[in-house]
Amino acid sequence: MRNDDSPLRPEPGPPAGPARPWFARRSTLVVAAAALAPIFLGGWVLTQILAGAGGDDSRPPRVVLPKGSSAPAPASPSPAAPAKGPLSGRTVVIDPGHNTGNFDHTNEIERQVDIGTNRKECDTTGTTTNAGYMEAEFTMDVSLRARRLLEAQGVKVILTHEVGGRAWGPCIDERARIGNQAKADAVVSVHADGVSAGNRGYHIILPADVRGGAADTGPIVGLSRQLGERIASNFARTTGSAPANYLGSGTGLVVRDDLGGLNLSTRPKVFIECGNMRDAKDAAQLTSPEWRQKAAQGIADGIVGFLGG
3-state SS, residue 114? strand
Q: Which stretch binds Zn ion (CB under 5 A): 37-45, 191-199, 215-223, 258-266?
A: 191-199
The residues, any chain, with a CB within 8 Å of residue 70's CB and separated by 6 or more, are: 145, 289, 290, 293
Nearer to Zn ion, 191 or 292 (CB): 191
State which of residues 191, 200, 267, 269 lies at the interface with Zn ion (CB under 5 A).
191
Site track for Zn ion across 4-33, x = CB under 5 A: ------------------------------
- Rounded Cα distance between 111 and 19, Å, is 101
Helix (H) or strand (E) holding 94, with range, is strand 91-96
Task: Identify residues 91-150 at the interface with Zn ion (CB under 5 A).
Answer: 97, 126
3-state SS, residue 7? coil
Nearer to Zn ion, 126 or 170 (CB): 126
* Amino acid at site 170: P
- Rounded Cα distance between 87 and 4, Å, is 44
Decide if 128 contacts 49 (C-beta within 8 A): no
Number of residues near Zn ion (by CB under 5 A): 3
How far the first Cα of the chain sits from its last, in Å, is 39
Nearer to Zn ion, 151 or 173 (CB): 173
Task: Give the nearest distance from C-beta 97 to Zn ion in angstroms.
Answer: 4
Among the listed residues 135, 137, 229, 273, the single catalytic one is 273
Nearer to Zn ion, 141 or 151 (CB): 141
Task: Give the nearest distance from C-beta 184 to Zn ion in angstroms.
Answer: 20
Decide if 115 contacts 263 (C-beta within 8 A): yes
Task: Give the nearest distance from C-beta 112 to Zn ion in angstroms.
Answer: 18
Q: Judged by CB under 5 A, does residue 302 bind Zn ion? A: no
Task: Give the nearest distance from C-beta 145 to Zn ion in angstroms.
Answer: 18
Q: Look up 174 and say whether it is catalytic.
A: no
- Rounded Cα distance between 300 and 287, Å, is 19
Task: Give the nearest distance from C-beta 257 to Zn ion in angstroms.
Answer: 17
- Rounded Cα distance between 89 and 76, Å, is 22
Q: Which stretch binds Zn ion (CB under 5 A): 6-14, 67-75, 115-123, 185-193?
A: 185-193
- Rounded Cα distance between 23 and 273, Å, is 89
Task: Give the nearest distance from C-beta 244 to Zn ion in angstroms.
Answer: 14
The residues, any chain, with a CB within 8 Å of residue 61's CB and separated by 6 or more, are: none
Q: Which stretch binds Zn ion (CB under 5 A): 29-37, 89-97, 203-211, 248-256?
A: 89-97
- Rounded Cα distance between 201 and 240, Å, is 10
| Residues belonging to the active site | 273
* Binding interface with Zn ion (CB under 5 A): 97, 126, 191
